[in-house]
Structure 1
């Protein structure tokens, strides 16, 4: 009878173990989403006296009628006095919008997130949103679910590769349960956190999302978090208008990103007191904004729904658009806690509906209602800000269930994504990390090599082949060099490219080409100069047909050669590798 596999090893190594952990994390994330929604609802009723104050029209708090709407000045201050010290003392990473911190944990820390982040993030975000903070709930639930997944993976002593998957499972489960969006959860986690769609990880993330959705629907019911009317298009000409919509709203998404960090920088510059007090003092500014525009209170989904259904005029829509950008940026800047996904949807809905009103005025018989443009603008704004077109399409499709708008939706979202990338290399999530010196687009194995140049890793240049060299001679030279690739120069010494052993062999096998010269076979590999970075050289070498590549000067003259071995020698000199340390020898001599 075969020996039973230990439980810990089964969880760490088997696919069934990963599936089991994904199901447990999905259930935990679903329960966490229920608790988080309850905390937000309770906080909103406590601080405003209403289920959602954003549509209350500046009414008084029922418990404090003598104050009228002026209680709005006090609510963010009182909440800040509670969650400010909480975040500062127990989990500083719970400040802000959450998703960049999870992206950093996945990319740089092997998926390790402290468990206390879950509780602190839930309380801080619920207090912030409930007291009027103009942020969303998806950032907090991503961080909460991710911390649960990381903690469970840590208890099971999973390797980093699987720990990252469990972090994504928690994030997907939180999104799915909170928004009743079982498709959007996995795509959000895969596109933004893991940044790949490997089969094993995708399966685990989907199972976690489904489990969390089942748990969430048991509490909230199987209803979309927005109740939108059915929409339809009127004319194929509208596709041109949706391209324009993608450009305009994609630019709004980028503007949202820029203003968010401009105001955060301004708050950092202006504040000179203790960090734990910053949310309370800054709460006075937020309260003043809420007095002027109470529609900015909290997440604001009811206001978004009123806009898309056509209840607001063009000018007021623009006021709400810029008001939301300012309110969200101010909430984050003063040290608040909450997400930027919902605000980006809000910005897109206002801008898209205003765009729809404008085109309706000029082409009344050929365009759909403004709400169609507002609905599609929601996805376009998120795509422009976050650079996540797949997630944007899935989210909007799940919100509506309207297949008739899928083609214009995809059109606008792709154009908005391209617009956002043209205006900024960073997204609303990655910009926060780049400001800390973290580049998620760089290959993980090469991030630690930033700052080292090819000049430090060059070796002697092999003898170049003159361009007039016959193929038989070139084959002999390549065989002697054992490099598989050699540089080619003209009679004047100018660099013409490189020739490979494979290209020469194939040419010699062809009788019609066997009498040619290497000049006709020279190819230009990726350009490397003295100033090129080591990560860039490694990327070029990974695709090189031989064992090395030439290094050129600024005048495009050959100055050296670089190989994997020369880079290794530059970073870890042979002497350091060939002489073991005392610890490696197993000695403890002084």
Structure 2
């Protein structure tokens, strides 16, 4: 066997184990680099596209009225043409879709949806739709990293880890927030904390952050905001802001989900044209409605204390974001809610500062708190919200106030209004399953190559006496019989003593099916759980050449270890 084949098999066997190995760390790093480079191209394309449409100020200065109306219309036509050329039967992208694919398909994403996400996300963000770039980033990062794993025949349990690595690297490369990227993966996408996944995810997040620093510089996304330490006398206002943000998050979610529910039976071109036309009208009437959420923060800073303008901006961003996201424009939700949270906090600060206070509320700090609170209320990821704001602002002074604003915002949303995470609500509305049985969750972590029996006995059409001799001398080895049918196709049966046959030596034959060596124990469970006995054979390149056996007893023991 060539050395390259031996090396590949050794690597694959390491990756099949549910532990932190050098192999998964190196492969996760490679996948993270691939994801980060894709995001770099994505960001550069958005920047160049902005100059092409004449948006040199990144939506801080309004374009001519005709351009503001025409650009969203042209954009949705281009997006429709893109989806049509890609022959996509269903347009499903972004973070909710990635959560679904992580649970049901180990994070592997169809190439058509990935192309749609890359080019569609660029078009939507260049055209000024009120969406964020983190949705496309998550999708593209997972696709790039799993592509690396797929092409080296990585086991599916490791593919899932690579998808998590790609997502973390992509978020870190988008916003230079490696810690928040790691926690977002664990808290929102995987919804579990496992050390053997956390270590390679951490490594890939660092890679993504370093790559983006080299190309885009060290400045954080919210460098224009300077947080200061709040006096204890203002902490009550922080808690009250959290209550307001919790209600605001629920209102935005309800608005967006109502839009999704209303248009879910419309065909694609109708939905996109509606989104483009409404966005275009808003852009003509309220120019500040254009652009992602982070551009709204710039507008908030320019109009501090101007309550009428801020109310108009809040209305515009609520409608523009709900319409774009609810009607299927490719883009992310987190960027949109950041902008809404900033405007809500600006209004809150402006209103409170008109009261006879001994010390005015600090504007920049409360804007940051508004972003943290509404993110926690919307996606139900309090730790990710906290760390995102700390990293985006590069300020540790914000930690205690951010905790105080996140807690009431989250509790108001989840407990008072019984609201689910907006991502989970999207999956429910789209009938995309995201929950699997705890047994499957446990067994998905282990590849069959890690536990399969390789020293089994394989016999070609033996006689019964030959079988009896082998069974007597097999030393507890599994015995498999291969038969060849009229079409020269092999079939395999597991052979054992029939314990119900009394004293006479009788044999029991059980047909067994084959699974690929990259499969996980969850797939073996699916095959054997009905009978609670038997086995499957494992093959590498050719289905007619078994390289291992996984019995029901092996699966049962692995499950006990994982759940203990």
Q: TM-score, with normalisation over the residues of structure 2?
A: 0.73
**Conserved 8 A contact 1:97-1:339:** no
Residue 335 (structure 1) aligns with: 328
Q: Which residue matches 2:193?
A: 197
Alignment-derived partner of residue 37 in structure 1: 43
SS at match of 1:361: coil
Helix, strand or coil for the counterpart of 1:403? coil
Change (3 A) 1:18 1:340: same
User: What residue number does 1:430 align with?
Assistant: 424
Q: 1:238 to 1:104 in 2, by over 3 A?
A: same
Task: Provide the alpha-carbon RMSD of the alignment.
Answer: 2.8
Indicate how the Cα distance of structure 1 residues 278 and 174 shifts in structure 2: closer, same or farther if over 3 A, else same: same
Q: Secondary structure at the match of 2:264?
A: helix
Which residue, 385, 391, 406 being the options, matches 1:398?
391
Indicate if the aligned counterparts of 2:132 and 2:332 stay in contact, CA closer than 8 A.
yes
The answer (yes or no) to whether the contact 1:249–1:380 under 8 Å persists in 2 is: yes
- Specify whether residues 580 and 361 from structure 1 end up closer, same or farther in structure 2 by C-alpha distance, changes over 3 A only: closer
Q: Deviations over 1:304-346 (max 9, x none)?
A: 1341476351232222222212101211233310001011111
* Correspondence for 2:518: none
Distance 1:309 1:208 in 2: 37
The CA distance in 2 between the partners of 1:333 and 1:165, in whole Å, is 30
Match of 1:80 in 2: 76
Single out whichever of 383-392 and 161-170 deviates more from structure 2. 161-170
1:10 maps to what in 2?
11
| Whole-angstrom CA distance in 1 between matches of 2:190 and 2:306 | 41
Match of 2:61 among 52, 56, 60: 56
Displacement after TM superposition at 1:408 (Å): 0.7
Question: Could you tell me whether the CA contact under 8 Å between 1:246 and 1:415 is conserved in 2?
Answer: yes
Deviation at 1:154, TM superposition (A): 1.9
Deviation at 1:384, TM superposition (A): 0.3
Match of 2:558 in 1: none
Match of 2:462 in 1: none
Q: How far off is 1:395 after superposition?
A: 0.6
| Match of residue 208 from structure 1 | 204
Per-residue displacement from partner, 1:523-544 (whole Å, max 9, x unpaired)? xxxxxxxxxxxxxxxxxxxxxx
Shift of 1:367: 4.1
Q: Match of 1:183, SS?
A: helix
Tell me the equivalent position of 1:482: none
1:219 deviates by: 0.8
What's 1:146 paired with?
142
Change (3 A) 1:580 1:343: closer
User: Paired residue for 2:470?
Assistant: none
Match of 1:125 among 121, 129, 134: 121
> Structure 2: 5+ residue runs without aligned partners?
16-20, 442-524, 537-543, 545-564
Whole-angstrom CA distance in 2 between matches of 1:116 and 1:97: 10
In 2, the alpha carbon distance for the partners of 1:304 and 1:235 equals: 24
Residue in 2 aligned with 1:509?
none
* In 2: Cα distance, 1:135 partner to 1:285 partner: 14
Higher relative contact order (CA 8 A, sep 6+): 2
Residue pairs, 1:121-520, within 5 angstroms: 121-268=117-264, 271=266, 274-276=267-269, 278-280=271-273, 282-308=275-301, 311=304, 313-422=306-415, 423-438=417-432, 440=434, 443-445=437-439
- Runs of 4+, deviation exceeding 6 Å: 576-581
Secondary structure at the aligned position of 1:6 is classed as helix
Aligned length: 443
- Structure 1 gap segments, 5+ residues each: 61-68, 448-567
Deviations 1:8-37 (A, max 9, x none): 431452511111111111211221111111
| Distance in 2, Cα, partners of 1:408 & 1:359 | 17
Alpha-carbon distance in 2 for matches of 1:578, 1:404: 59
Deviation of the 1:233 alpha carbon = 4.1
Question: Displacement of 1:88 after TM fit?
Answer: 4.2
**CA contact under 8 A between 1:22 and 1:169: conserved in structure 2?**
yes
**SS of residue in 2 equivalent to 1:201:** helix
| C-alpha contact (below 8 Å) 1:351/1:377 kept by paired residues | yes
Q: TM-score, normalised by structure 1?
A: 0.70
In 1, the alpha carbon distance for the partners of 2:11 and 2:533 equals 38
Give per-residue Cα distances to partners, 1:85-104, cap 9 Å, x unaligned: 32245274994660000000
In the other structure, the counterpart of 2:474 is: none
Q: Give matches, 1:59-70, under 5 Å.
A: 59-60=63-64, 69-70=65-66
**Structure exhibiting the larger radius of gyration computed from Cα positions:** 1
CA contact (8 A) 1:54 1:303 kept: no
Evaluate the alpha carbon distance shift between residue 82 and residue 438 of structure 1 in structure 2; reply closer, same or farther with a 3 A threshold. closer
